[in-house]
Structure 1
């Protein structure tokens, strides 16, 4: 009754900036995903409530759709919560980086309710909640990759957690996990908190290259 002849790919996305959409387009949709003009170039500086004093801050905080925070060489390593290698992972130093970026976003006028923090590990969710909830309350949403699916946010901070001398990323090597994390409706700014860049080199290089190709 149903066959391949009725299949149709919906190739126009209305969710995010074109540079952010470049990753899922390349990795999951064979570069066929097109960004609608209503979202393709939309930035945080276009929000009515945002402003900063300096041109440098305007570009870094409000005018860049994808930001990498690289602390290679700082030994900001993950740790395991629980017994053995199967426990959930967290990264205190990376959590501090995330807090600092959220502070800058809010200082520039982005509302806590416009921000989402996404991380693959429940232990990191707990750590970030302890760190940020007393300051920003329940308006700032913090959750796992799966738990935050379907959210609508303007600024997304992705805390990847994994940072170790063995360069192991565990189940995060599945490109679909990062794809889900980045596909947040209305996302116009994403910080990938990549601690120990060599661990994430294949992903960061791909994102860098895709971002440059969209300029």
Structure 2
């Protein structure tokens, strides 16, 4: 009762949004410079969602690598995914392929001329694996334990929000027939 009398039954965001909506010409400022993604990765969302108005900071151009492409797709042709872990989808074959790919990535990255500080542990901490399915997250964690890669962060889309990693692997598990491997 007391919360209703002080209008506290609604969140602060909801109340501020209602005030904002009542403004005749609400001030909108677009943040138009991105500082985190490789320009090739941001080109699609820039075109499709920002109307080409998003600029890249100069610092993102120096983050490119000659050894690795900024974006790579790999189609894993396997049987359809399963449901089990709390009715969440998973694909153990894809989890195995992702773990093997990550293991090779760590080996390759470690074999390049890196600082002495870049041990396997530090390399693992710079890699993230994202999946939208809790079932797949569980299967990935099991597979990565087999390969002794416990410091690679595996999580959901939400859990990676705001984080930065040098390499992100995305495990979608669903496949579209006729899809192939593609490099951009």
**What is the TM-score of this pair, normalised by structure 2?**
0.70
Distance in 2 separating the partners of 1:33 and 1:41: 18
1:158 paired with 2:170, answer: yes
Structure 2 residue aligned with 1:116 = 128
User: Is contact 1:17–1:40 with CA below 8 Å preserved after alignment?
Assistant: yes
Report deviation, 1:63.
2.3
Report deviation, 1:159.
0.5
Runs of 4+ residues deviating >6 angstroms: none
Give the 3 Å change call, closer, same or farther, for CA 20–108 of structure 1 in structure 2.
same
Report deviation, 1:197.
5.2
Q: Which has the larger radius of gyration?
A: 2
Structure 1 residue aligned with 2:11 = none
Give the 3 Å change call, closer, same or farther, for CA 153–6 of structure 1 in structure 2.
same
**Which runs of 5 or more residues in structure 2 are unaligned?**
1-19, 111-122
1:79 paired with 2:65, answer: no
User: Is contact 2:46–2:53 with CA below 8 Å preserved after alignment?
Assistant: yes
Distance in 2 separating the partners of 1:22 and 1:162: 24
SS in 2 for 1:116: strand
Structure 2 residue aligned with 1:89 = 89
SS in 2 for 1:102: helix
SS in 2 for 1:106: helix
Report deviation, 1:133.
3.2
User: Is contact 1:18–1:41 with CA below 8 Å preserved after alignment?
Assistant: no
SS in 1 for 2:141: helix
Q: Which has the higher contact order (CA 8 A, sep 6+)?
A: 1
Report deviation, 1:40.
3.2
Give the 3 Å change call, closer, same or farther, for CA 197–145 of structure 1 in structure 2.
farther
What's the Cα RMSD here? 2.6
**What is the TM-score of this pair, normalised by structure 1?**
0.61
Q: What is the number of residues matched between the two proteins?
A: 150
Matches within 5 A, 1:57-68: 62-68=67-73
Give the 3 Å change call, closer, same or farther, for CA 100–4 of structure 1 in structure 2.
farther
1:136 paired with 2:139, answer: no
Distance in 2 separating the partners of 1:37 and 1:3: 37
**Which runs of 5 or more residues in structure 1 are unaligned?**
46-61, 168-195
SS in 2 for 1:109: helix
SS in 2 for 1:156: strand
